[in-house]
């Protein structure tokens, strides 16, 4: 953008005070918007994690302005008061059946949201995490997700907070049956009766869909056909062409396949919030310190720029996770932390970086996402 001034008495070779102020304004606004796009998930499945107060202090010290938690932990909510950290608050899968009762949902919101509003900055309520009607472990819960979402939304609306707090649910990408090319993305036939009503509901209340996206698991499941640079955002050139769209990385390909699937399910107006993404540093194939550092640092920069299908639209993204969690299984799940439990940084990540990298994406791969904090 060019801003000129013809203020009388000012040298034409120097910007006016107004010009400088405007430039500073646009620069500051731009940095603030991009910085605010990346948050970090605070999982607590470890017996050696720091006290909650120290965790909140670490978020602030690290300039991490958004957090996701997986249940309404009262100590965390208390510690977040006045912190200015924006929050995704999770409804545990174990609570879904109870919340199909409107009275229970109202009580849940009263205790866990209204009791902390407005000193805690709630952004979304994630009603359930990675529920799938075709997953043996969660299939029995699928019938409760939409009723619980409706009841939580109604309770939020009764509190007059529907414009401040959006209700959604977090899915994994096993619900996508076809992902190649991204423009052909479509949900599995056997999940449509579950997912389509949720998509219609989210569209009606103008809430985004939350999605946990892990290129690591896709790559680790098919390293013969997927290159490591494609998974790590380091491919120097386009790997997959989809019509006029060129894809250099698997993250963009996956997200655009999800956008295409939403369009086919009459959910083209929905935004997607990437509610989890990460790369382990140990515990399995390709889980190394260098790969974790490369993926996470590139992801932080990349999500400021959008995807080939939706360019120049920053992608709200939450990295998984704040700490290594030693009580998780299998072994690889223990090593997704950005920090060690002693609060030492595992990687030197910059959450306030001003640099923008122009990285695009896409690929021919079966989506294989197995992560969940629940």
CA 309 – CA 164 distance, rounded (Å): 28
CA 324 – CA 260 distance, rounded (Å): 34
CA distances from 30 to 111, 265, 301, 352 (A): 36, 34, 14, 12
Catalytic residue among 276, 316, 325, 362: 276
Catalytic residue among 130, 316, 333, 362: 130
In sequence order, which residues have a C-beta less than 8 Å from that of residue 263 and are 6 or more positions away?
none
Active-site residue flag, 354 = no
Which secondary structure element, helix H or strand E, spans residue 240, and what is its range? strand 240-242
Let me know how many helices (H) and strands (E) the chain has, helices first. 10, 12
Active-site residue flag, 316 = no
CA 239 – CA 252 distance, rounded (Å): 12
CA distances from 266 to 72, 187, 197, 201, 322 (A): 32, 12, 10, 11, 35
Looking up tokens 């731009």 gives 30
CA 124 – CA 209 distance, rounded (Å): 10
Give the catalytic positions in this structure.
130, 276
């Amino acid at each position: 953008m060019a801003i000129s001034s013809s203020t009388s008495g000012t040298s034409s070779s120097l910007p006016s005070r107004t010009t400088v102020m405007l430039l500073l304004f646009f620069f500051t606004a731009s940095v603030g918007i991009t910085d605010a796009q990346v948050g970090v998930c605070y999982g607590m499945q470890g017996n050696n994690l720091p006290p909650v107060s120290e965790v909140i202090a670490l978020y602030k010290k690290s300039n991490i302005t958004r957090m996701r938690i997986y249940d309404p932990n009262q100590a965390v909510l208390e510690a977040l008061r006045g912190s200015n950290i924006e929050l995704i608050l999770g409804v545990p899968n174990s609570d879904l059946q109870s919340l199909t009762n409107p009275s229970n949902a109202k009580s849940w919101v009263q205790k866990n949201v209204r009791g902390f509003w407005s000193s805690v900055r709630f952004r979304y309520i994630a009603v359930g995490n990675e529920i799938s009607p075709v997953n043996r472990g969660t299939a029995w819960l699928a019938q409760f997700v939409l009723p619980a979402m409706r009841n939580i939304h109604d309770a939020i609306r009764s509190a007059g907070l529907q414009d401040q707090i959006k209700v959604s649910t977090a899915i994994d990408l096993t619900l996508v049956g076809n992902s190649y090319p991204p423009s052909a993305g479509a949900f599995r036939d056997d999940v449509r009766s579950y997912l389509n009503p949720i998509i219609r509901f989210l569209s009606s209340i103008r809430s985004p869909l939350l999605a946990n996206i892990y290129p690591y698991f896709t790559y680790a499941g098919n390293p013969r056909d997927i290159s490591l640079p494609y998974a790590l955002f380091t491919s120097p050139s386009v790997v997959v062409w989809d019509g006029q769209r060129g894809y250099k990385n698997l993250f963009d390909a996956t997200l655009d396949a999800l956008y295409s699937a939403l369009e086919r399910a009459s959910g083209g107006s929905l935004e997607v919030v990437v509610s989890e993404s990460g790369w382990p540093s140990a515990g399995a194939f390709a889980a190394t310190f260098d790969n974790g550092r490369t993926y996470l640092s590139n992801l932080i920069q990349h999500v400021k720029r959008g995807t080939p299908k939706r360019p120049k639209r920053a992608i709200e993204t939450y990295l998984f996770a704040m700490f290594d969690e030693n009580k998780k299984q299998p072994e690889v799940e223990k090593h997704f932390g950005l920090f060690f439990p002693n609060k030492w940084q595992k990687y030197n990540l910059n959450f306030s970086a001003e640099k923008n990298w122009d990285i695009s994406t896409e690929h021919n791969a079966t989506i294989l996402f197995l992560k969940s904090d629940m």
